[in-house]
Amino acid sequence: MVRNYFELLNPSYNGGEFNIDRRLDPDSYCKELYEDLSEVLLKNKVLPNGDVIDIYETSLCINKKYYETRIKIKSNDEVIYSVGLGTDYIGASIHWALESGLSKKDCIDILKTSRTLGGHIFLPRWIREEKTNTLHRGISLNIAKGGKKGFCDRIDLFLKDLSCWYLKKECKLQEVYEKNKLWLCLFKNFDNFVKFNKLQDFIDNNYVENIQDIIPKSCDEYKEFSKNINKKINSRNFRLFGYPIDERTKM
């Protein structure tokens, strides 16, 4: 059974009491989300550059305002980096769903799929170089990709832009990627980043969905957009839990 992390924190959300301003955000408050995502993406994993991930803590931090998973990156058994990771929601934005005119019921229907494990990734909040004790805490990828200055949280457009950075081409979030270079370079290239994070379902051969507007403007367009994203999240759930690829199409 695939868990819904929004429902874990907001058990009455499906009973007509959904309020976007009073909801508890799983990316901040759901320890189970951090533990489950760590289990499938981080535990005993070797990075594409050959370094090894060692998970050492998932806990509340900074006055208990949010959870964080902390890992150590080891090279030849020596710790070279400590990293604080936060989960990031990659499903259709509920804020923009409401802006486009979708009803609360429509938003609840989106969340039933989008807030399962496949709708989340890990992104770094900070990295410390152990040899020099240098702490890097710049603009987070999570914050930068949100809003109209980024990609309004659209994962496909974020991945397209990131692919350009890896290829040393012009990209919208160039400065942010450079500030997160220590993390991004652990994957060596874009294909490795996608495969390691199991994001294959969110890219096509051109690394982007063919939707003209960043945010679909009408109810019908946004419904179709969210439906397509949720199909990809369902498919990624199968990928995360290790089902054979041919079985993923039977959900």
CA-to-CA distance for 154 and 112, rounded, in angstroms?
18
How sure is the predictor about 151, in pLDDT bands with cuts at 50, 70 and 90? confident
Examine the pLDDT at 249 and tell me if it is beyond 50. Answer: no
Residue 49 is part of which domain span? 5-238
Of residues 62 and 31, more confidence is placed in: 31
pLDDT of residue 16: 62
Q: Report the alpha-carbon distance of residue 201 to residue 191 in Å, rounded.
A: 13
Q: How far apart are CA 126 and CA 136, in angstroms?
A: 6
Q: Is residue 213 very low, low, confident or very high in pLDDT (cuts 50, 70, 90)?
A: low
pLDDT of residue 218: 87
Whether residue 27 is contained in a domain is answered as yes
Mean pLDDT, range 168-193, rounded to an integer: 96
Q: Tell me, yes or no, whether 176 lies in a domain.
A: yes
In a domain, 126, yes or no: yes
251 in any annotated domain: no
pLDDT at 17: 63
Per-residue pLDDT tens over the stretch 74-111: 999 999 999 999 999 999 999 889 989 999 899 999 99
C-beta separation of 125 from 85 below 8 A:
yes
**Quick check: is 212 in a domain?**
yes
Please check whether residue 248 lies inside any domain of the structure: no
pLDDT band at 20 (very low <50, low <70, confident <90, very high): confident
Average pLDDT over residues 43-64: 90
Q: How many domains does the structure of the chain reveal?
A: 1
On whether the pTM is more than 0.85, the answer is yes
* Residue 247 belongs to a domain: no
Give pLDDT, residue 250.
45
Asked whether residue 214 is assigned to any structural domain, the reply reads yes
